[in-house]
């Protein structure tokens, strides 16, 4: 069995195995999860992720229990995430969890006896979204290798962008990060690209690169992630695409993706163009997440690569400097990873500079 927590836990070969299984399971209702129970824990709002995980579970013959709001749980009484996970593992065979704290998924996986699937942890990662994004790119463009990808919008807090970048760097892709400075891609992401010699561009406007990119990946500015509402107001609605700004001005085969929900950054007049693939992308969540269930529970044949061992250390006190990290809200082992050049939080991947 295996957890799905971070794209750092996967090699290119592992990713291609997930995509292969997704293709095999698409449009099939094989009861691979018959007599299995899925614990679905959504501490943050969700439409596509929660429903597609549930749909995938049903199509594979599983039953689903859980909640879609912490307001209806004992968390309102002060129960910890640790105890919620320990209880849920007793009632289910696998846990799907979305949480508002960065690193919560890694923390849950450490204490759970059953596999944990990260359905988004704060502004950190969203690996199952990445798998369906990759599945969509492969399906629509024929391959992933060497593609040019432009990310537009909230790149600082966009967990979908963080996970997808980590995956696409394995496919030798070229990146365009297009955002105002206040929501530009975090330094820990670009440093990883620099270390691997991967080409990327930091830009403010998307118009100048439309003829170059294969994928335009739009994201909404996430109001709920901002601590200062004035910062949000400065960037809200700053990047908007519509039929007039895209059609005839981009590569003929360029596709537009969006993890959804959209607010006003993608106008509906684009929906019926050949470039718009965001609804197909959302639909691909079912086979992608069916593959993740099946692989996590060892119900299909899928090769798994061995990753290099990390130098994981513990501290007696909280060492992560990220105020949103789970280590500031739960009793953890305060683990961090000592790399050759720096150290970073084991849970939320943020740099530790002290």
Among 52, 177, 55, 69, residue whose Cα is nearest residue 126 = 52
Query: Can you point out the beta strands (E) in 102-168?
Result: 116-121, 148-152
Catalytic residue status for 273: no
Catalytic residue status for 11: no
Count of H-run helices and E-run strands, the chain: 11, 13
Query: Which residues are registered as beta bridge partners of 17?
Result: none
**Residue of 77, 113, 353, 354 marked catalytic:** 77
Catalytic residue status for 332: no
Q: Hey, what are 322's tokens? A: 């990220």
- Other C-beta atoms lying within 10 Å of the C-beta of residue 202: 14
Strand pairing category for 94-99 and 116-121: parallel
Q: What is the spatial order of strands in the sheet that 351-352 belongs to?
A: 312-313, 336-338, 343-345, 351-352
Catalytic residue status for 12: no
**Residue of 2, 36, 49, 101 marked catalytic:** 49
> Do 164 and 130 meet the contact criterion of CB atoms below 8 Å apart?
yes
**Residue of 101, 126, 159, 335 marked catalytic:** 126
Query: Which residues are registered as beta bridge partners of 336?
Result: 313, 345
Strand pairing category for 37-42 and 174-178: unpaired
**DSSP-derived 3-state class of residue 44:** coil
Q: Could you give the angle at the alpha carbon of 33 between the alpha carbons of 30 and 34, nearest 5°?
A: 90
Q: Could you give the angle at the alpha carbon of 65 between the alpha carbons of 61 and 71, nearest 5°?
A: 155
Task: Show Cβ contacts of residue 51 under 8 Å, excluding neighbours closer than 6 positions.
Answer: none
300/321 Cα distance (integer angstroms): 40
Among 98, 123, 101, 163, residue whose Cα is nearest residue 327 = 101
Catalytic residue status for 49: yes
**Residue of 20, 48, 63, 262 marked catalytic:** 48
CA atoms within 13 A of residue 242's CA, in its CB half-sphere: 8
CA distances from 244 to 240, 247, 273 (A): 11, 6, 11
**Residue of 2, 50, 59, 98 marked catalytic:** 98
Residue positions annotated with a catalytic role: 48-49, 77, 98, 126
């Amino acid at each position: 069995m295996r957890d799905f927590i971070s794209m750092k836990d996967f090699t290119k070969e592992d990713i291609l195995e997930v995509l292969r299984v997704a293709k095999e399971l698409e449009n099939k209702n094989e009861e691979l999860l018959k007599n299995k129970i899925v614990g679905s824990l959504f501490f943050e709002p969700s439409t596509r992720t929660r429903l597609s995980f549930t749909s995938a579970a049903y199509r594979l013959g599983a039953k689903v229990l859980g909640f879609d709001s912490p307001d209806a749980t004992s968390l309102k009484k002060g129960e910890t995430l640790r105890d919620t996970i320990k209880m849920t593992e007793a009632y289910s065979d696998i846990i799907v969890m979305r949480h508002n704290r960065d690193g919560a998924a890694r923390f849950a996986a450490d204490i759970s006896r059953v596999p944990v699937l990260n359905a988004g942890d704060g502004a950190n990662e969203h690996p199952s979204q990445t798998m369906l994004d990759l599945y969509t790119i492969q399906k629509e463009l024929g391959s992933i290798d060497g593609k040019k990808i432009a990310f537009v919008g909230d790149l600082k807090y966009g967990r979908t962008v963080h996970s997808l970048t980590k995956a696409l760097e394995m496919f030798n892709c070229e990146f365009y990060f297009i955002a105002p400075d206040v929501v530009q891609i975090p330094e820990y992401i670009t440093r990883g690209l620099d270390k691997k010699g991967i080409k990327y561009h930091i830009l403010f406007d998307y118009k100048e690169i439309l003829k170059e990119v294969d994928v335009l990946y739009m994201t909404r500015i996430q109001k709920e992630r901002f601590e200062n509402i004035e910062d949000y107001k400065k960037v809200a609605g700053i990047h908007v695409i519509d039929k007039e700004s895209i059609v005839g001005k981009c590569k003929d085969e360029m596709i537009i993706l969006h993890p959804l929900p959209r607010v006003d950054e993608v106008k509906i007049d684009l929906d019926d163009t050949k470039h718009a693939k965001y609804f197909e992308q959302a639909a691909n969540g079912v086979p992608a997440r069916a593959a993740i269930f099946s692989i996590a529970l060892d119900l299909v044949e899928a090769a798994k690569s061995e990753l290099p061992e990390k130098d994981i250390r513990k501290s007696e006190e909280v060492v992560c400097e990220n105020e949103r990290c789970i280590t500031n809200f739960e009793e953890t082992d305060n683990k961090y990873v000592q790399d050759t050049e720096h150290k970073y939080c084991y849970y939320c991947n943020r740099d530790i500079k002290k």
